[in-house]
């Protein structure tokens, strides 16, 4: 239909970028980017009308988003020519042809288009050798200044390499290394770097991406507090398998927040000061920051108190772990690696965490206890006895109190 609307309007219209790349690779991709040779706003209005879809227009940029369903949206932009006034600046934009538009893109594999007009419908437009590079598994820039103009492309190159098991073409890698060594990443705003960090954390092969970032000396530059030691690498490499194992073992209603899990792992070997610095540098949300600092605060104590050499009661296990999020508990299992610790944490999540006393403040009042600090103490004692297994029923608890 987009093609028919384009024909009616006398415009040439193309699907471009990642969607085309993934169609050729046979990978699912729900983000459709459309480029219009001409007025993108007019075209997007007709398209939204046709589908009775919601339209968000950015008049200033001549771009629009047509939202068909929650996770299905189409970005529509005018074909443009772009140039940069100085390295790492935002580009100056002018109208252009599809060829111009594809040339300003990051890599050849992302520089292909598929025509949507009736004449030539479905034709792949490939000026820069995208199909050849897809076949050869190569990430290749289109022009030498690509990384200088947009240094975030270094992160993108690594992400695509590891996602598709491709590698950077030799010259491209040289340009990437030169750009990194020139210190240009320091000129990119935190927001843009962090956008790349969170994009990376959505990928399936996070450890490989991090190791590649380390190899290219990026990690030290943008996240100086991260210490990719051999121990941490091991935790990262086992992470996905561990998550799967624990999700099977645990009776936990919600699935853990995967982004938070990886952020916790990345900070798990830092001291408080570096963890605070790093989460500040990453501009993490208050909730994420608090989780990270909590992990650092309890880490050493929990790991030593729950270890096999220590003889402790269920109530002690409960007290060590109470209030900790499922993500922190999982990461404690992963960094410990000790069977006894893991079993105790699993026992806590599956059983101890959910144990509550039947008796309440009201029962204490009925027994003639005066309200005050003693209330809490007594309830705590009942909980301790219950966790340790000596109380089953409401009656048991009342008997215990009377004593
Ligand atoms: N693009 C670019 N330079 C960037 C970011 C994006 O040239 N720094 C271009 C690429 O052509 C890319 C398209 O814009 O294909 C859309 O960008 P984006 O949605 O970020 O990437 P995708 O290629 O769709 O990748 P992903 O599968 O990760 O969403």
Q: Ligand 1 pocket check: which of 16, 18, 20, 79 to mutate, most ligand atoms within 8 Å of Cβ?
A: 18
Its pTM stands at 0.89
What was the pLDDT predicted at 140? 98
37 Cβ below 6 A of ligand 1: no
162 Cβ below 6 A of ligand 1: no
> Mean pLDDT, to the nearest integer, of 122-128?
96
> Mean pLDDT, to the nearest integer, of 80-109?
86
Closest C-alpha residue for ligand 1 atom 22: 18
What was the pLDDT predicted at 90? 76
Per cent of the chain over pLDDT 90 is 69
Q: What is the mean pLDDT of the chain?
A: 91
pLDDT in tens, 320-344: 999 999 999 999 999 998 999 999 9
- Return the bridge partners of 14, or none: 35, 115
33 Cβ below 6 A of ligand 1: yes
Q: What is the ipTM of this complex?
A: 0.97
CA 247/CA 244 separation, integer angstroms: 5
Query: What pLDDT band is residue 262 in, cutting at 50, 70 and 90?
Result: very high
Helix (H) or strand (E) holding 57: strand 54-58
152 Cβ below 6 A of ligand 1: yes
Measured from the Cα of 152, ligand 1's closest atom is 8
Measured from the Cα of 153, ligand 1's closest atom is 8
What was the pLDDT predicted at 252? 74
| Half-sphere exposure at residue 384, Cβ-oriented, CA atoms within 13 angstroms | 12
pLDDT in tens, 12-66: 999 999 999 999 999 999 889 999 998 999 999 999 999 888 999 988 878 999 9
> Mean pLDDT, to the nearest integer, of 282-289?
95
What was the pLDDT predicted at 351? 85
Give the angle subtended at the CA of 282 by the CAs of 169 and 263, to the nearest 5°: 85
> Is residue 341 within 8 Å of residue 332, measured between CB atoms?
yes
Query: What pLDDT band is residue 95 in, cutting at 50, 70 and 90?
Result: confident
Closest C-alpha residue for ligand 1 atom 14: 17
17 Cβ below 6 A of ligand 1: yes
pLDDT in tens, 195-251: 999 999 999 999 999 999 999 999 999 999 999 999 999 999 999 999 988 888 888
The full DSSP string for 214-226 is HHTT-HHHH-TT-
What was the pLDDT predicted at 99? 95
pLDDT at 403 over 80: no
CA 19 to ligand 1 centroid distance, Å:
9
pLDDT at 87 over 80: no
54-58, 94-98, 175-179: range with lowest mean pLDDT: 94-98
> Mean pLDDT, to the nearest integer, of 365-392?
78
What is the distance in angstroms between the CA of the first residue and the CA of the last residue of the chain?
A: 80
Of 118, 105, 34, residue with least CA distance to 76:
34
Q: How far is CA 220 from CA 144, 215, 403, in A?
A: 25, 10, 62
Q: Which residue has the higher pLDDT, 74 or 395?
A: 74
pLDDT at 157 over 80: yes
pLDDT at 82 over 80: no
pLDDT at 70 over 80: no
Q: What is the CA radius of gyration of the chain?
A: 28
What was the pLDDT predicted at 308? 80
What was the pLDDT predicted at 402? 77
Per cent of the chain over pLDDT 70 is 100
The full DSSP string for 170-236 is HHHHHHHHHHHHTTGGGGS-HHHHHHHHHHHHTSS-HHHHHHHHHHTT-HHHH-TT----HHHHHHH
């Amino acid at each position: 239909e987009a093609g028919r609307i384009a024909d009616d309007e006398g415009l040439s219209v193309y699907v471009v970028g990642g969607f085309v790349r993934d169609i050729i690779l046979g990978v699912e991709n729900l983000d459709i980017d459309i480029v219009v040779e001409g007025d993108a706003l007019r075209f997007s209005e007709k398209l939204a009308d046709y589908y009775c879809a919601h339209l968000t227009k950015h008049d200033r940029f001549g771009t629009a988003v047509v939202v068909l369903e929650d996770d299905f949206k189409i970005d529509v932009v005018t074909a443009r020519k772009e140039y940069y006034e100085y390295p790492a600046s935002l580009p100056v934009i002018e109208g252009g042809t599809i060829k111009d538009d594809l040339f300003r893109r990051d890599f050849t594999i992302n520089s292909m288009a598929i025509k949507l007009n009736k004449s030539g419908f479905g034709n792949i437009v490939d000026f820069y050798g995208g199909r050849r590079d897809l076949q050869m598994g190569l990430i290749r820039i289109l022009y030498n200044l690509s990384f200088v103009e947009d240094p975030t492309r270094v992160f993108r190159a690594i992400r695509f390499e590891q996602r598709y098991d491709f590698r950077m073409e030799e010259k491209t890698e040289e340009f990437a290394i030169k750009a990194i060594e020139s210190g240009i990443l320091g000129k990119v705003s935190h927001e843009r770097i962090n956008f790349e960090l969170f994009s990376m954390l959505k990928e399936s092969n996070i450890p490989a991406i991090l190791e590649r970032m380390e190899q290219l000396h990026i990690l030290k530059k943008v996240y100086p507090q991260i210490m990719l030691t051999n121990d941490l690498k091991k935790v990262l490499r086992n992470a996905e398998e561990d998550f799967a194992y624990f999700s099977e073992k645990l009776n936990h209603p919600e699935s853990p927040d995967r982004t938070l899990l990886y952020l916790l792992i990345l900070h798990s070997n830092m001291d408080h000061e570096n963890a605070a610095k790093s989460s500040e540098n990453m501009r993490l949300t208050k909730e994420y920051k608090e989780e990270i600092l909590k992990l650092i605060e309890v880490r050493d104590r929990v790991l030593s108190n729950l270890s096999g050499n220590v003889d402790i009661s269920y109530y002690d296990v409960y007290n060590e772990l109470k209030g900790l999020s499922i993500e922190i508990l999982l990461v404690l299992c992963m960094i410990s690696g000790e069977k006894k610790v893991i079993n105790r944490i699993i026992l806590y999540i599956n059983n101890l965490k959910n144990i509550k006393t039947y008796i309440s403040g009201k029962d204490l009042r009925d027994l003639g206890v005066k309200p005050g600090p003693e209330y809490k103490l007594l309830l705590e004692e009942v909980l301790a006895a219950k966790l340790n297994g000596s109380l089953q029923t409401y009656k048991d608890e009342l008997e215990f109190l009377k004593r």
